[in-house]
């Protein structure tokens, strides 16, 4: 299992983020943390944290010399993973909700018919449950994931081989640049479509979404976020696949 952390300007949040990872009651995982050329010293702070807590063997820190954006970083990290790695994404300003997150996810993947999971998260502060809920069978069978309100949110987990089947151009905006908002839809929707019933909704709260970050997408440009959501939904659907 590999926890991937795309991070930008998270000097206020890096410690809670990393502490929630290394305190997991589960041992068979590694971490790749990408500091995306943050101007607020995030990279140095993370490096010191890793050294202080003797996590050099578990946590790999990548420090970009120029900003690439979260989706580009995730794409590169996932394509560096082995095909059979289970990928868990954790944004750099968020944190795992408890110490049994990775153990819970690992238990779900003991079923060989599970290729990906999503859910569930809580907003912080407030502790209100997020948007995750299961897709009805009629939506799954008719491949209508793009036609209904979004449900497949944090935490997002999947086999690396499944992500690698997505066409690179589907990660780009109408101008041919990497999507900078609503980008989670660009890989979760194709993977849901390819997986069909081989995905799993997890009802337990595993993830804390940080509502206090002023650079969250919905705070920066909600109109652009909505426009890119519609753009992603308008793209051709993927067909269900029967095997890896």
pLDDT band, residue 244 (cuts 50/70/90): confident
pLDDT band, residue 106 (cuts 50/70/90): very high
What CATH number labels 2-234? 3.90.550.10
**pTM, two decimal places:** 0.95
Domain ranges for the chain, please list them. Answer: 2-234
Whether the pLDDT of residue 215 is over 90: the answer is no
- Give the pLDDT confidence score for residue 161 in this predicted structure: 99
pLDDT digits (tens, 9 = 90+) for 73-84: 999 999 999 999
User: How much is the mean pLDDT over the chain?
Assistant: 96
The residues near 69 (Cβ < 8 Å, ≥ 6 apart) are 36, 178, 179, 180
């Amino acid at each position: 299992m590999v926890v991937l952390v795309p991070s930008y300007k998270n000097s206020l949040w890096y410690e809670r983020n990393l502490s929630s990872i290394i305190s997991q009651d589960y041992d068979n995982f590694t971490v790749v943390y990408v500091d995306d050329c943050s101007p607020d010293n995030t990279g140095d702070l993370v490096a010191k944290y890793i050294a202080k807590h003797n996590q050099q063997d578990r946590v790999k820190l990548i420090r970009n010399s120029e900003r690439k954006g979260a989706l580009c970083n995730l794409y590169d990290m996932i394509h560096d993973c082995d095909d059979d790695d289970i990928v868990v994404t954790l944004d750099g300003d968020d944190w795992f909700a408890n110490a049994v997150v990775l153990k819970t996810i690992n238990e779900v993947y003991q079923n060989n018919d599970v290729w990906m999971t999503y859910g569930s998260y809580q907003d912080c502060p407030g502790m209100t449950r997020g948007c995750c809920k299961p897709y009805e069978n009629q939506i799954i069978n008719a491949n209508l994931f793009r036609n209904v309100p979004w449900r497949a949110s944090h935490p997002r987990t999947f086999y690396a081989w499944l992500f690698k089947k997505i066409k690179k151009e589907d990660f780009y905006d109408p101008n041919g640049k990497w999507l900078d908002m609503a980008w989670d839809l660009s890989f979760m929707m194709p993977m849901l479509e390819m997986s069909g019933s081989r995905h799993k909704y997890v009802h337990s709260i595993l993830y804390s979404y940080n509502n206090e970050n002023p650079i969250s997408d919905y705070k920066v440009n909600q109109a652009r976020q909505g426009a890119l959501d519609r753009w992603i939904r308008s793209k051709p659907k993927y067909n269900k696949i029967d095997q890896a």
